């Protein structure tokens, strides 16, 4: 740990002290509410600070990780050796005619509200997706027949040479839960969404309808990372899990939701190991019964 404390001194030349936390419990930063400590967690406020932190990590051969609001992240109980760069303070939002330009740390819910207030249509599908803009573009998040690829115009990213550049929609290579950002390990700083002018009441009604449907069908009262598994081609993960008799299956306080089998939830005091063990049980049972491989949508990092 000494080398990380020494490294924190270097970070103070780039960031405000309030934006550097040592031995920070990751359960405080993930929607699953599990996970051991990270050696250093930083929350840069400016694009150049992100570039400088990444450059410093590379110069000192310190492993680093990027996160938004932790809604799609499962950190193991042993925590993370290295630096977690949390982009939640990249939160500026601008509206220019039918475009919304937003920092990567802004939540999708807030963008949905901004779109509604400016009578802009097209973002309603994302009103209830837990997550921030950077992660949503990286994973091409989607719901209710909409996805980020339908509304994104461009993204400002840091490439592997530490350069800031803009990728247009084609260069983003958006596919089901994938993008060039994910493939090449770029870091998202800012995203421009291209929406359509619409009717306030119609947009509001659509948002309210989607939120009502989510509340009825999803276990939003428990910590989770949303849908745990990607949709297998030709199938629905939740149906495969339910048809395997796994609805309500538990390991410790980790449970396959009785409300929606696609969600694994933390009923109170689950550990990351409980969740991972339950994920493995689900994968093995579905493979055995239907010969279908389930892959996690949630990102798993850290040490046992």
User: Residue 108 has which token pair?
Assistant: 């999708």
Task: Kindly tell me the sign of the dihedral angle through the C-alpha atoms of 53, 59, 60, 66.
Answer: positive
| Among 121, 127, 157, residue whose Cα is nearest residue 142 | 127
The one-character DSSP state at 84 is E
Confirm if 130 and 110 have CB atoms less than 8 A apart: no
Answer for the pair 44, 53: CB distance below 8 angstroms, yes or no.
yes
CA distance 244 to 118: 46
Assess whether 177 carries a catalytic annotation. Answer: yes
Question: Which 3 state secondary structure label does DSSP give 157?
Answer: strand
Integer Cα distance of 271 and 251 in angstroms: 10
Distance in angstroms (rounded) separating the CA atoms of residues 34 and 229: 18
Is 297 one of the annotated active-site residues of the chain? yes
Q: Which residues of 26-49 are buried (b: 16+ CB within 10 A; e: fewer)?
A: bbebbbbbbbbbbbbbbbbbebeb
Give the active site residue among 124, 147, 190, 297: 297
212 is catalytic: no
> Active-site residue among 169, 177, 214, 299?
177
Catalytic residue among 180, 227, 244, 261: 227
Residues known to be catalytic: 177, 227, 297
């Amino acid at each position: 740990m000494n080398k990380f404390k020494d490294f924190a001194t270097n970070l103070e030349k780039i960031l405000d002290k309030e934006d550097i936390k040592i031995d920070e419990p990751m359960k405080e930063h993930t929607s699953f509410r599990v996970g051991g400590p990270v050696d250093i967690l930083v929350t840069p406020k400016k694009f150049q600070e992100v570039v400088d932190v990444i450059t410093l990590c590379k110069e000192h051969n310190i492993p680093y990780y990027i996160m938004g609001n932790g809604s799609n992240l499962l950190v193991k109980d042993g925590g993370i050796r290295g630096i977690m760069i949390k982009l939640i303070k990249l939160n500026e939002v601008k509206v220019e005619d039918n475009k919304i330009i937003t920092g990567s740390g802004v939540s999708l819910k807030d963008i949905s509200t901004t779109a509604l207030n400016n009578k802009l249509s097209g973002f309603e599908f994302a009103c209830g997706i837990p997550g921030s803009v950077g992660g949503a573009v990286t994973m091409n998040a989607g719901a209710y027949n909409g996805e980020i690829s339908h509304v994104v115009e461009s993204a400002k990213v840091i490439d592997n040479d530490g350069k800031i550049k803009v990728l247009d929609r084609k260069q983003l290579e958006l596919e089901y839960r994938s993008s060039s950002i994910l493939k090449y390990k770029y870091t998202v700083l800012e995203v421009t969404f291209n929406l359509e002018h619409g009717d306030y009441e119609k947009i509001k009604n659509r948002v309210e309808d989607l939120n009502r449907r989510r509340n009825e069908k999803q276990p939003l009262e428990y910590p989770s990372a949303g849908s745990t598994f990607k949709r297998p081609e030709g199938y629905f993960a939740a149906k495969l899990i339910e048809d395997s008799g796994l609805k309500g299956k538990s390991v410790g306080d980790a449970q396959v939701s009785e409300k929606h089998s696609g969600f694994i939830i933390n009923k109170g005091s689950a550990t990351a190991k409980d969740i991972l063990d339950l994920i493995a049980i689900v994968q093995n049972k579905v493979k055995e019964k239907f010969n279908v491989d389930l892959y996690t949508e949630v990102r798993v990092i850290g040490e046992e």
